[in-house]
Amino acid sequence: MIEKLNPIFVFSFFKKKEKKKDIHAQDRFFYFFLKALSWSLIFLFFYMLFVIFQMSWPAFSHFGMNFFVNADWNSWTQSFGALSLVYGTVVTSILALLLAVPVSVGVALFLSELAPNWLAKPLSFIVEMLAAVPSIVYGLWGLFVLAPLLRDYIQAFLSKYFHFLPFFQGPYYGVGMMCGGVILAIMIIPTISSVCREVFRTIPKSNREAVLGLGATRWEMLKIAVLRGSSTGIIGAVIMGLGRALGETMAVTMVIGNAPSIKISLFEPAQTMASILANQYAEADNELHLASLTAVGFTLFFLSLIINILAFLLVWKMKRSTTGISSTKRFSSASRGPSLSGLDYTGKEKKE
Amino acid sequence: MRIVYCILILSGLLPVASMGVASLKSDNKPLLINGAGASFPYILYSKWFLEYRKINPGIRINYRSIGSGGGIRQFLTGTLDFGATDVPMPKEQIQKSKKEILHLPTALGAVVVSYNLPAVEKKEIRLTASVLANIYMGKITKWNHKEISEINPDIALPDQNIVPVYRADGSGTTAVFTEYLAQFSSEWLQKVGKGKSVNWLTGIGGKGNEGVMGLIRKMPGAIGYVAMSYAVNRQLPMAEIQNMSGHFVKASTHTVKTSAQQILEKTNDLFHPLTAVQGTDVYPMSSYTYLLVYKEMTSDKGAALVQFLNWYLKNGQSFCESLHYIPLPSLVIQKVKHRVRSIKVTNDDRKT
């Protein structure tokens, strides 16, 4: 591998070409080219990490570890802490997942298993179109349409009948953590459902037929053959959705109320890491303020990294511990099963 | 494969080719002047640069509204020929710069307080600094509070919750609003502070003028502050604000112009906040928006920029009112003209 990257090798490879036509030259060139591209991505990742860390260093050295446990974001007294922002980000993202995952898995099941072909095609097209709507459009729609709707109907209802729960207490204005979560849910549904659909497609037909042959009803077949067999793939899809929810900026900024504080009630305004960057970065003219904002960016970077690693471990553990249906899968044509990204759905082996 | 090679080779050649074309064209290319900064004056500046290009086609001025903070940063690193900001640069930043920087006021902008109270229809309520400060510090929570009804004896104020709305993104609008409140309330200065982003104690934050606008319009009982042009365009009610001599004044071109004139007469300072004004006809919440240029510039670009500066002081002011900006009073124009005259343009050594 290493000598292929060696410039001498490249040189000799050109020299050889002069002597006689090397029929594998194109292959090697292509391999080299793609390899360079992949490495440049890895390099880019670490370079970004380095630059962000370097820019946020003044904040880390000034506040130390306090930066992560301080819930105060006060640009007047120059006291900056990321805790309330982390809280806002995590709560809205979890809320979005709670709302979006059942809907997306349901939509994916319907489209891939139940819907007739004439309906499935246009419907899945429309669901995927939702992903193409710019986020500022979602944001303005959320501010002008969704927030008043939430306030007048859903929050009024929750506040009346469920006010014993700490999540639904206090005055409600429409905008706030709940509105942010709902907007995010709508935005990540197309992502999760389209990946889930691809995952369901990788389940071989013979699995379904076998379960049906054992006398299962349609629902039991979906449960045993489709859902259970693709659980790792579904988790992969959920993580993709979560990634989008964590980093979503404009739509959330418009509807979350932008108040960096930690409150239990979902009616209260909050602030996410991405939205405070969108709000304050352009106008920050103070060194420490700017560094703290960059440090928030670094924290967000790190948080999504941790979540991705956890998801990877979860998928890995599930793959190892699942028995039964997955052991039959091992002998089927889709021997590898759906991968984390859910994109490896061709059923072919990656490497011979 | 051959196609791939062709693409690769072509893409390698493309920059070279375009460079060749560019060098051929460079003889009759217009002189490009780059600026960036505050978003508040963006509409006015775009109009100016467009009109100026009609008169003087040899000069092309680009302006990007990236926010004052970003504009100042890029201006200091020398990426830009001029910057723009709504709030004068902090003193330590000016001192850090190697070259002397001039602030040139270009126009005035007013901040108005608007509200959503269907019960009082379009009547203009009166507000004092102490009432506003108490609303935004969470001490006054109902519209029919004693302090508000005392200064509005003619208006039947409803028993409704007040929802304070603020600008969540750093902005000159917030700087003017908090400057006005801090001047009258020392408690405000201590707890909330003043500047482009402050430590809000209660309320909901909207992003940008349009975000604040949307929140006010969609939430009955809301109160918020926006740039005057937004309230005028959308025909929102504007409160009468009490100035230092106790008069309640409505924002208008006339009242803002008079207050700028008054402050300049009194202090002879173009940086002084325009909030401490006295009289029947002066509005206390307004500010200049500034262009930033270096006092010493090199020729071609420097000369062209000075030419433009003189043009905006003479002819450009007439565009202000149709775009809902407030033109500079004559005394200010005189003073700025004096400043422009002090700019030194030297010959560019590299050219000769």
Q: Is residue A339 part of a domain?
A: no
- A14 falls in which pLDDT band (50, 70, 90)? low
Q: Is residue A282 part of a domain?
A: no
- How far is the C-alpha of B266 from the C-alpha of B244, rounded, in Å? 14
Beta-carbon separation of A279 and B169 below 8 A: yes
B40 chain-A contacts, CB cut-off 8 A: none
A80 chain-B contacts, CB cut-off 8 A: none
Helix axes A287-321, A25-63, angle to 10 degrees: 120
- A342 falls in which pLDDT band (50, 70, 90)? very low
B214 chain-A contacts, CB cut-off 8 A: 140, 143-144, 254
Q: Per residue in A15-49, pLDDT tens?
A: 555 556 778 888 899 999 999 999 999 999 999 99
- How far is the C-alpha of A231 from the C-alpha of A181, rounded, in Å? 24
Q: Is residue A42 part of a domain?
A: no
- A287 falls in which pLDDT band (50, 70, 90)? confident
Beta-carbon separation of A282 and B70 below 8 A: yes
Q: How far is CA B206 from CA A257, B169, B246, B329, in A?
A: 6, 8, 31, 32
- How far is the C-alpha of A338 from the C-alpha of A328, rounded, in Å? 14
Beta-carbon separation of A175 and B89 below 8 A: no
Beta-carbon separation of A257 and B204 below 8 A: yes
Q: Please check whether residue A269 touches B, CB under 8 A.
A: yes
Question: What residue of B is the nearest CA neighbor of A145?
Answer: B218
Check residue A55 and give its pLDDT.
93
Chain B contact residues (CB < 8 Å to A): 1, 4, 66-70, 72-73, 89-90, 93, 161, 163, 168-171, 192-200, 203-207, 211, 214-215, 218-219
The domain that holds A204 is classified in CATH as 1.10.3720.10
* Contact between residue B65 and residue B85 where contact means Cβ atoms under 8 Å apart: no
Beta-carbon separation of B207 and A254 below 8 A: yes
pLDDT tens string, chain B, 352 residues long: the values are 455 555 555 455 554 444 444 444 445 678 899 999 988 899 899 999 999 999 989 899 999 988 888 888 899 988 899 999 998 988 888 888 888 899 999 999 999 999 999 888 778 899 999 999 999 999 999 999 999 999 999 898 999 999 999 999 988 999 999 999 999 889 999 999 998 889 999 999 998 888 899 899 989 999 999 999 888 888 889 999 999 999 999 999 999 999 999 999 988 888 888 988 888 889 999 999 999 999 988 878 888 999 999 999 999 999 998 888 999 999 999 999 999 999 998 876 554 4
Least Cα separation, residue B219 to chain A (angstroms):
7
By Cβ distance, the residue of B69, B214, B218 closest to A285 is B69
* Contact between residue B107 and residue B327 where contact means Cβ atoms under 8 Å apart: yes
- How far is the C-alpha of A64 from the C-alpha of A67, rounded, in Å? 6
B72 chain-A contacts, CB cut-off 8 A: 285
Q: Is residue A317 part of a domain?
A: no
* Contact between residue B185 and residue B129 where contact means Cβ atoms under 8 Å apart: yes
- How far is the C-alpha of A144 from the C-alpha of A175, rounded, in Å? 10
Residues forming beta bridges with residue B296, ordered by sequence position: B344
By Cβ distance, the residue of B69, B215, B218 closest to A284 is B69
Q: Is residue A109 part of a domain?
A: yes
Q: Per residue in B138-190, pLDDT tens?
A: 999 999 999 999 999 989 899 999 999 999 998 899 999 999 999 988 999 99
Beta-carbon separation of B211 and A284 below 8 A: no
By Cβ distance, the residue of B4, B207, B219 closest to A258 is B207
Least Cα separation, residue B68 to chain A (angstroms):
6
Beta-carbon separation of A175 and B215 below 8 A: yes
Return the structure tokens found at B98.
């190697």
Q: At residue A306, does pLDDT exceed 60?
A: yes
By Cβ distance, the residue of B170, B198, B204 closest to A284 is B170
By Cβ distance, the residue of A173, A175, A283 closest to B169 is A283
Secondary structure of residue B208 in the 3-state scheme = helix
Check residue B2 and give its pLDDT.
55
Beta-carbon separation of A75 and B214 below 8 A: no
- How far is the C-alpha of A229 from the C-alpha of B175, rounded, in Å? 58
Q: Is residue A119 part of a domain?
A: yes
Q: At residue A190, does pLDDT exceed 90?
A: yes
Q: Per residue in A241-270, pLDDT tens?
A: 999 999 899 999 999 999 998 999 999 999
Domain span at residue A146 reads 87-273
Q: Per residue in A308-335, pLDDT tens?
A: 888 888 888 887 775 444 444 444 444 4
Beta-carbon separation of A258 and B203 below 8 A: no
Q: Per 3-state DSSP, what percentage of chain B is helix, strand, and coil (rounded to 5)? A: 45, 20, 35
Question: What residue of B is the nearest CA neighbor of A152?
Answer: B219
Check residue A284 and give its pLDDT.
82
Least Cα separation, residue A339 to chain B (angstroms):
30
A294 chain-B contacts, CB cut-off 8 A: none
Return the structure tokens found at A115.
């819907």
Secondary structure of residue B266 in the 3-state scheme = helix
Interface of A with B in 248-267 (CB under 8 A): 253-254, 257-259
Q: Per 3-state DSSP, what percentage of chain A is helix, strand, and coil (rounded to 5)? A: 70, 0, 25
Q: At residue A206, does pLDDT exceed 70?
A: yes
Tell me A162's DSSP state: S
Phi, psi (5° rounding) for residue A156? -60, -40
B197 chain-A contacts, CB cut-off 8 A: 75, 279-280, 283-284
Q: Which residue has the higher pLDDT, B203 or A10?
A: B203
Beta-carbon separation of A174 and B66 below 8 A: no
Q: Please check whether residue A231 touches B, CB under 8 A.
A: no
Sign of the dihedral through C-alpha A95, A101, A107, A110: negative
What is the count of structural domains for chain A? 1
Beta-carbon separation of A76 and B195 below 8 A: yes
Beta-carbon separation of B211 and A283 below 8 A: no
Beta-carbon separation of A283 and B195 below 8 A: no
* Contact between residue B170 and residue B197 where contact means Cβ atoms under 8 Å apart: yes
